């Protein structure tokens, strides 16, 4: 990024950035002085407009990283240091280690010691993540390196041992209740009655907080206490408070009951998990929160023996539309070039329900999927059921990215050791659910005695552990 013509406003701005950073990074023996310098940098950055923040971050990344000349000098001396004994070699290695620490890491450490300094750095990383995609040339590599450095520091500062687990209830501070309401994007909260339901009887809302960011939820986990593994999100977020969630409840108190009946509870359903801070992307929090909540619920209700998610499938409809478009693009070519999505019996059922010929089926199908109009007709809905469930199993179980599950929610739960257990038809018929996944949702089940081995198999061997019903569906599919 150029500095502009000498004497220009842009050149003057670059000089002001360098002056501010050089002052902040100048050695000082006083912790008070160091704190004031760090505070000055934060105040300076906070007053900048987005375009100027981009210049600041690029300058910081490119000019205040590792001193390559110094690293080269020390590296060159390592071979001769080895001949002069272990003590000399270790001193040279320590010098190299220190030289490899970028200068901006010292600034980040200074800022972290300030009140609200860690929150400033979380927001700073949000800005870096937003800047990377639009940056080109060498600058993008400098930014990525600085992002990795800051992510590693945040991972250390937000380690699970120093996070606080809090349960949010209707009696919690109003600002916390408001925040968990505004952060909920998986199943949006419509009003205060909705909020009250989700933190009330047979529901649990847990958050992780950090002492350096008080009253700020870092990750939010919403859980329903039910009498079976839920197959519909409507039964959880729209029904009156009760343990019902699967349509198979054996004992269920009246909907107006406010007291929880332990005899009606044997299952915990994790139906929404939200990371609230983009700047903490890549910092493992959600998986630790689930593990902590499992322990809390086991202590509160020993009768809970089943732990499962009821998860959305973001991207399934887009993937399906891509396969339909691929078929249409190659429909005039030989069969080997066309995507073979549907089985012969499914084609017959779809053509009959859509009242179209086989040659026009894909065009009709594309229109109905794009508008969600298929859900408005009972006959069409029934014809869609078998192929969509089967193709969803293919998408979740067979479609991969670098060997891992392509779907990000699947990857999250499988990485945590869950089993891909059941695909649920019309589990989320909200506009959001239909648009994301044609209304389908999936249960990822946590068998506590198997999570460690499942996680190891997935992360080390990319093996997805799935229930027989999912495997049978996936095996029916032709790639």
How far, in Å, CA of 353 to CA of 378, rounded? Answer: 9
How far, in Å, CA of 348 to CA of 345, rounded? Answer: 5
Cα 26 to Cα 20, 65, 316, distances in angstroms: 10, 15, 53
Residue from 311, 359, 411, 430 carrying the catalytic annotation: 311
- Identify the three-state secondary structure at position 84: coil
Q: At what angle do helices 286-300 and 408-415 cross, to 10 degrees?
A: 60
Q: Which residues pair with 221 in a beta bridge?
A: 206, 273
CA 326 to chain centre: 29
Buried b (16+ CB within 10 A) or exposed e, 422-461: bbbbbbbbeeebbebbbbbbbbbbbbeeebeebbebbeee
Both tokens assigned to 53: 């923040």
For this structure, is 327 an active site residue? no
Tell me the longest C-alpha to C-alpha distance in the chain.
86
Residue from 34, 242, 413, 437 carrying the catalytic annotation: 413
Buried b (16+ CB within 10 A) or exposed e, 127-142: bbbebbeebeeebbeb
- Identify the three-state secondary structure at position 423: strand
DSSP for 277-302?
-GGGTTS--HHHHHHHHHHHHHHH-T
Q: CA neighbours within 13 Å on the CB side: how many for 397?
A: 28
Q: Which residues pair with 206 in a beta bridge?
A: 167, 221
For this structure, is 311 an active site residue? yes
How far, in Å, CA of 334 to CA of 357, rounded? Answer: 19
- Catalytic positions are 311, 413
């Amino acid at each position: 990024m150029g500095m502009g013509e000498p004497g220009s406003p842009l050149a003057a701005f670059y000089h002001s950035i360098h002056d501010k950073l050089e002052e902040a990074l100048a050695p000082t023996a006083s912790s008070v002085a160091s704190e004031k310098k760090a505070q000055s940098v934060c105040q300076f950055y906070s007053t900048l407009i987005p375009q100027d923040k981009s210049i600041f971050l690029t300058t910081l990344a490119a000019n205040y990283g590792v001193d390559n000349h110094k690293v080269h000098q020390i590296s060159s001396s390592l071979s001769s240091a080895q001949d002069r004994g272990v003590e000399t070699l270790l001193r040279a290695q320590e010098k190299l280690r220190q030289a490899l620490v970028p200068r901006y890491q010292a600034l980040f450490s200074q800022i972290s010691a300030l009140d609200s300094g860690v929150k400033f750095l979380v927001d700073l990383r949000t800005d870096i993540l937003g800047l990377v995609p639009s940056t080109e040339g060498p600058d993008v590599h400098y930014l990525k390196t600085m992002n990795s450095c800051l992510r590693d520091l945040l991972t250390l500062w937000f380690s699970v041992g120093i996070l606080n687990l809090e349960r949010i209830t209707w009696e919690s501070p109003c600002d916390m209740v408001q925040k968990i309401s505004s952060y909920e994007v998986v199943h949006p909260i419509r009003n205060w009655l909705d909020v009250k339901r989700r933190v009330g009887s047979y529901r649990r809302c847990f958050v992780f907080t950090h002492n350096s960011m008080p009253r700020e939820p870092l990750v939010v986990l919403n859980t329903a206490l039910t009498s079976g593994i839920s197959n519909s999100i409507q039964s959880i977020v729209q029904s009156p408070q009760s343990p019902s969630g699967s349509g198979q409840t054996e004992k269920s108190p009246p909907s107006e009951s406010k007291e929880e009946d332990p005899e009606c509870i044997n299952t915990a359903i994790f139906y929404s998990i939200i990371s609230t801070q983009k700047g903490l992307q890549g910092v493992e929090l959600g998986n630790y929160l689930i593990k902590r909540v499992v322990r809390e619920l086991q202590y509160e209700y020993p009768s809970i023996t089943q732990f499962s998610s009821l998860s959305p499938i973001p991207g399934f409809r887009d993937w399906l539309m891509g396969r339909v478009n691929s078929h249409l693009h190659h429909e005039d070519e030989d069969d080997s070039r066309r995507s073979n999505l549907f089985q012969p019996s499914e084609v017959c059922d779809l053509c009959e329900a859509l009242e179209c010929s086989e040659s026009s089926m894909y065009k009709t199908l594309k229109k109905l999927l794009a508008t969600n109009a298929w859900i408005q007709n009972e006959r069409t809905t029934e014809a869609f059921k078998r192929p969509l469930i089967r193709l969803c199993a293919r998408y979740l179980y067979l479609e991969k990215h670098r060997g891992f599950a392509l779907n990000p929610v699947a990857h999250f739960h499988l990485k945590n050791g869950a089993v891909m257990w059941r695909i649920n038809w019309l589990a989320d018929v909200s506009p959001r659910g239909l648009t994301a996944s044609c209304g389908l949702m999936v249960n990822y089940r946590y068998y506590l005695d198997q999570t460690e081995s499942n996680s190891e198999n997935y992360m080390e061997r990319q093996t997805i552990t799935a229930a027989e019903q999912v495997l049978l569906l996936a095996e029916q599919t032709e790639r």
